[in-house]
Amino acid sequence: MKKLFLTAAALALWAGAARAELKVVTASSDLKYICERVGGAEVEVESLASGDQDLHMVEPRPSMVFKLKKADLVVRVGLDLDMWMDSLINAAKNKRLFYGEPGYVDASAGVPLLEKPEGKVDASMGDIHIYGNPHYWLDPANAKIMAKNILAGFKRAAPEKAAAFEANYSAFIKETDERLAGWQARMAPLKGLKIVTYHGSWPYFAARFGLEVAGHVEPKPGLPPSASHLDGLVKKMKAENVAVILTESYYPRKGPEFLAARTGAGIVTAAVSAGGARDVKTYFDVFELVVTELEKAAEKK
112-153 residue pLDDT tens: 999 987 766 554 445 666 778 999 999 999 999 999 999 999
Among candidate residues 154, 156, 150, 153, the one with its CA nearest the CA of residue 111: 150
Strands (E), 117-211: 194-197
Rg of the chain, C-alpha, whole Å: 22
pLDDT top residue among 168 and 18: 168
**Could you give the CA distance from residue 135 to residue 281 in angstroms, rounded to a whole number?**
19
Query: Tell me, what DSSP letter sits at residue 48?
Result: S
Residue 3: the pLDDT is: 46
Average pLDDT, the chain: 91
With cut-offs at 50, 70 and 90, classify the pLDDT of residue 1: very low
Residue 4: the pLDDT is: 44
With cut-offs at 50, 70 and 90, classify the pLDDT of residue 298: confident
* Statement: residue 219 has pLDDT above 60: yes
Average pLDDT, integer, range 10-36: 76
With cut-offs at 50, 70 and 90, classify the pLDDT of residue 53: very high
Among candidate residues 248, 245, 253, the one with its CA nearest the CA of residue 277: 248
Bridge partners, residue 247, by sequence = 269
**Could you give the CA distance from residue 88 to residue 69 in angstroms, rounded to a whole number?**
10
CA 79 to chain centre: 12
Average pLDDT, integer, range 18-34: 89
- What does the pLDDT look like over 76-107, one tens digit per residue? 999 999 999 999 999 999 999 999 999 999 99
Number of other CB atoms surrounding residue 82 within 10 Å: 22
Among candidate residues 187, 159, 179, the one with its CA nearest the CA of residue 293: 187
Distances (CA, A) of 242 to 111, 233, 262, 272: 30, 10, 12, 22
Beginning with the edge strand found earlier in the chain, give each strand of the sheet holding 43-47 in spatial order.
Answer: 43-47, 22-26, 73-76, 104-106
